[in-house]
Amino acid sequence: MQFELQILGSASATPMTGRHPTAQLLAVGEGRYLIDCGEGTQWRLLEHRRRLSSLRVIFISHLHGDHYFGLFGLLGTLHLQGRQEPLLIVGPPGLDLVLTTQAMHSGVQYGFNLTFVPVDTEAHALVYEDALVRVSTLPMRHRVPCCGYLFEEQPRRDRLVKESLPPGLSPAELAQLAQGHDLPANPATGRPALAHAAVSTPAAPPRRYAFCSDTLYTPALAELVRGADLLYHEATFLEELRERAAQTHHSTAAQAAELACAAGVGLLLIGHFSSRYKQLTAHLAEAQAIFPNTELATEGLVVAV
């Protein structure tokens, strides 16, 4: 099953040409999840030929403009496109009021059901679940209430190994095995008890993606994202501006790498680059010196987990 992330924006708040504010698209099977929605996100989705109509849920980390100002326009376009499927927005309290005030004065009545799920940005809690993913908040430390999100694939079923199955199993017995249950002995056919584990290959563990939005370097996060296959962590600054990072409640590339190291993740993506850095090679070098398996979350990058 597909588990793929695309970076739609790599910039921090001050705009620059060629970089756009934070937005990411996570594809898990048929599910499409938008993570943050900076100004212009709908054009990024168009450029990358992603159908806006496929979006299922939008997760917003915090109410700084570079993380949600694209939401107004995106919702308007979904309405113009005639969307009827419900849409869920998960984000910090207050976002609903901002959206409602705007929609009221536009004279727009969305043709689809828009549900808002306010989250406690200071908790690590399950906030969304469907047949494909479970999503929990990750508390960030920023200048306004802010959280990241941990996306965890729903557990996959162990695969039955045909060659290990005894002959003559009924459809009901096969179904039980497929669902992970052991079979008791069957006196009618004389078949002995059959352990699920003996006839199946264990499924790969659920894949996990941790999105760590704007935050002061917070070592305690390592515990919450331990072993994630993919970690995105902001790296607004380089170490040379470590103090500035702390003042503005942001992180450096080295700090992002330290967290990746402590958490033992598979791959680290760094992003949310300050516009003062025209080149990003120093960011990559600084992070890779600590955590070699680091990549830059550049515009349009696709990472398949």
- Residue 182 annotated in active site: no
Q: Is 142 annotated as a binding-site member?
A: yes
CB of 42 to its own copies, least distance (A): 5
Q: Is 182 annotated as a binding-site member?
A: no
Amino acid of residue 170: S
Is the Cβ of residue 102 or residue 176 nearer to its own copies in the bound state?
102
Q: Is 51 in the site for its own copies (CB under 8 A)?
A: no
Q: Which of 108, 112, 115 is nearest to 89 (CA)?
A: 115
Q: Is 272 annotated as a binding-site member?
A: yes
Q: Is 233 annotated as a binding-site member?
A: no
Total interface residues for its own copies by CB under 8 A? 36
Is the Cβ of residue 44 or residue 207 nearer to its own copies in the bound state?
44
Distances in Å between the alpha carbon of 19 and those of 51, 138, 240, 256, 263? 21, 26, 22, 20, 29
Residue spans of alpha helices (H) in the chain: 41-47, 71-80, 95-106, 171-178, 221-224, 242-247, 253-263, 281-288
Among 123, 125, 126, 144, binds its own copies (CB under 8 A): 144
269: β partners: 232, 295
Joined together, the tokens standing for residue 236 give 């607004």
Q: Is 113 in the site for its own copies (CB under 8 A)?
A: no
Q: Which of 90, 71, 86 is nearest to 135 (CA)?
A: 90
Q: Which of 256, 266, 254, 255 is nearest to 227 (CA)?
A: 266
Question: Which one of 36-44, 151-159, 208-216, 233-241 is the stretch in contact with its own copies (CB under 8 A)?
Answer: 36-44
CA torsion, points 263, 264, 266, 269, in degrees to nearest 10?
A: 40
Q: Enumerate residues 75-104 that contact its own copies by CB under 8 A.
A: 76-77, 80-81, 94-95, 97-98, 101-102, 104
Q: Is 196 annotated as a binding-site member?
A: no
Q: Is 42 in the site for its own copies (CB under 8 A)?
A: yes
Are 225 and 261 contacting, i.e. CB atoms less than 8 angstroms apart? no
Among 4, 13, 165, 244, binds its own copies (CB under 8 A): 13
**Which residues sit in the known binding site for Zn(2+)?**
62, 64, 66-67, 142, 214, 272
Q: Residue numbers of the site for its own copies (CB under 8 A)?
A: 13-17, 20, 39-40, 42-43, 46-47, 63-66, 69-70, 72-73, 76-77, 80-81, 94-95, 97-98, 101-102, 104-107, 143-144
